[in-house]
Chain A
């Protein structure tokens, strides 16, 4: 029971780490990036190949991967999102969905549908926590996620630059009037949010399989976490991510492992029933 809970907690931290990037992009630019899961997948493959070809451990390559995926995020913003922001909101959602599909199928063609995993990373091993032990990779990843989320939180809510972001989220035109370029801020947010998910992806390779549709597994959970947390709220995404990890673990423990994901989606709908704008959403 306690073991399941702890494992669920660390899973939840990873969901939160995947979700914060999405929450950031949604909160500031008002776009739900349906290719977010595929950005994660790209990050995972990048880390995988850096290890396999360059013998660079995922813990070391993570910053590099973050930069790489951040660049993908920038391209996505500059080439796709920017053109669509004035159009119907549906168009943006569909476009990112299409982009995700394209990335997934390209990965499928380039890397084959094989499930790959890294045999032996610096993190391999386990951590003993009293009565039971957990895999060291998931514990370290969870802790790093916590640090990254904390750093993002400080960056967005406590720095001058973060205030500029929030100003744009609040009102683009007024922000532009006081000398903040919404376009530039949006691009920065896309880079930052994508880099965050790239980092999470690199760390995830230390204990999770890499395959072309891995993004849909985590992507869907990230969407649920972000929505449940409330409109672009970083603390919301964080809390919701952990909640998802816990409820999954509990359902797996008490009901049936096969119904783990069902409970996640049911919880999501229940939360929206009582809080239509999510747990931390502004009213």
Chain B
């Protein structure tokens, strides 16, 4: 990268945050005009998976360690939030941040042995983590076992319980904006440059004095913490969690997929990918899901195949190609 591009980068550094704020406000206004519950749900899911992809992208994109087990952090966040609410009546306003904290702690604990791994080994280790989480929660009766847990039904704002889905939508928009800002500032800070240096060539980065271990851990912990927060939100939104849906490999892969579809290692990529993929998958689910044949999963699988075959660099590359700067 030449100094000139660095300069222009710094000058227009923060306009994406402004743009994100505008988009967030516009999105927040949607429920005023639109009363259709399904469309709102699709929008919310697209926003949520965009955010999840953005969290994943910190590790998978910028640091270049591909995790296929981020679902374990969704599960940890979700279970922390609902268990606290269920047994001790602790409001999710506390429970969700706590869930994020515990996810981060978990990442810190498992980061030691796993972050040393590279390539396929890291990917497999994260899948193993996800399976451990899944199997433990299936066998843990206190936490609901295989049947899962339900959030109480009611209308109590301080417990984040609403009968309408609209308040959840607003919370999602707010959280998504915060997620985008967090990723934006992280990636444009010294930390972000270190991550990309490690991604490019870890040995070279180390030789230049980048404390690689510390920064790899930082990426993993932050990414896990943010994913955990979204897990907590997800639990409150759906109101029912079970191990299979929370510690799900499919969800974990979907986090990877939205990032790939949009563009790995770019800030807007995951959001773009989610905006395309989620309406598609939710649409087919509603149209085909009732057949009981799992056609929606078939379409999901085909989508993965087609995206990776024909657009391995993501939608962002289309944009870049048009501007004539293909190939980073």
- A residues adjacent to B (C-beta < 8 A): 26, 32, 80, 83-84, 87-95, 97-102, 104-106, 108-109, 220, 223-224, 227, 256, 258-259, 261-262, 265-266, 268-270, 272-273, 276-278
List 29 A-B pairs, Cβ < 8 Å: A32-B120, A32-B124, A80-B305, A87-B312, A87-B313, A89-B66, A90-B256, A90-B264, A91-B308, A92-B308, A95-B304, A95-B308, A97-B253, A98-B304, A98-B308, A101-B304, A104-B297, A105-B293, A108-B294, A109-B293, A109-B298, A223-B124, A227-B124, A262-B139, A265-B135, A266-B132, A269-B113, A269-B128, A269-B132
Asked if A98 and B302 make an inter-chain contact with CB atoms under 8 angstroms apart, the answer reads yes
Q: Give the residues in chain A near B131, CB-CB below 8 Å.
A: 220, 261-262, 265
**Contacts A261-B131, A265-B128; A101 near B308 (Cβ below 8 A):** no
- Give B residues with C-beta under 8 Å from A: 60, 66, 68, 110, 112-114, 116-121, 123-125, 127-129, 131-132, 135-136, 138-139, 253, 256-257, 260, 264, 293-295, 297-298, 300-305, 307-309, 312-313
The answer for the CA separation of A219 and B295 in the assembled complex, in Å, is: 22
Q: Which residues of B contact A105 (CB under 8 A)?
A: 293-295, 297-298, 301
Q: Report whether B298 and A278 are in contact in the complex, using a CB–CB cutoff of 8 Å.
A: no
Across the interface, do B132 and A262 meet the contact criterion of CB distance under 8 Å? yes
Best-buried of A88, A106, A224 by chain B (most CB within 10 Å): A88
Task: Specify which chain B residues have a CB less than 8 angstroms from the CB of A272 in the assembled complex.
Answer: 113-114, 117, 121, 125
Q: Which residue in chain B gives the minimum CB-CB distance to A223? A: B124
Contacts A109-B293, A265-B132 known; A93 to B123 CB distance under 8 Å?
yes
Q: A84-B312, A89-B119, A262-B135 are in contact. Are A223 and B301 (CB under 8 A)?
A: no
B300 touches A101 (CB 8 A): yes
A75 to B114, CA, bound (A): 34
Q: Which residue of B lies closest to A86 (CB)?
A: B312
Q: Contact partner of B125 among A90, A101, A220, A268, CB < 8 A?
A: A268
Q: A91-B312, A98-B303, A224-B128 are in contact. List 20 more A-B contacts (CB 8 A).
A: A88-B313, A90-B60, A90-B260, A91-B260, A91-B308, A94-B257, A98-B304, A98-B305, A99-B301, A101-B297, A104-B301, A105-B301, A108-B294, A109-B295, A258-B135, A259-B135, A265-B129, A268-B128, A269-B132, A272-B121
Main secondary structure, interface of B, reads: helix
Determine whether the beta carbon of A223 is less than 8 Å from that of B116: no
CB distance from B118 to the nearest CB of A (A): 8
How many CB-defined contacts (below 8 Å) exist between A and B?
132
Q: A100: nearest residue on chain B (CB-CB)?
A: B301
Query: In the complex the two chains form, is B294's CB within 8 Å of A84's CB?
Result: no
- C-alpha spacing A98/B309, complex, angstroms: 11
- Name the distance in Å between A269's Cβ and chain B's nearest Cβ: 6
Task: Choose among A80, A270, A273 the residue with the greatest number of B CB atoms under 10 Å from its CB.
Answer: A273
Q: Would you call A102 and B301 a contact (CB within 8 A)?
A: yes
User: Considering the chains assembled together, what is the distance between the CA atoms of A90 and B312 in angstroms?
Assistant: 9
Shortest Cβ distance from B303 into A: residue: A98
Please give, as numbers and ranges, the residues of chain A lying within 8 Å of B114 by CB-CB distance. Answer: 269, 272
What is the distance, in angstroms, from A99's C-beta to the closest C-beta of chain B?
Answer: 6
Query: Which of A80, A87, A269, A270 has the most chain B CB atoms closer than 10 A to its own CB?
Result: A269
Question: Cβ of A227: which chain B residues have Cβ within 8 Å of it?
Answer: 120-121, 124-125
Question: In the complex, what residues of B have CB within 8 A of residue A256's CB?
Answer: 139
- Residue in A32, A91, A268, A277 with the greatest tally of chain B CB atoms within 10 Å: A91
> Could you tell me the distance between the alpha carbons of A105 and B285 in the complex, rounded to whole angstroms?
14
Residue numbers in B under 8 Å from A26 (CB-CB): 120
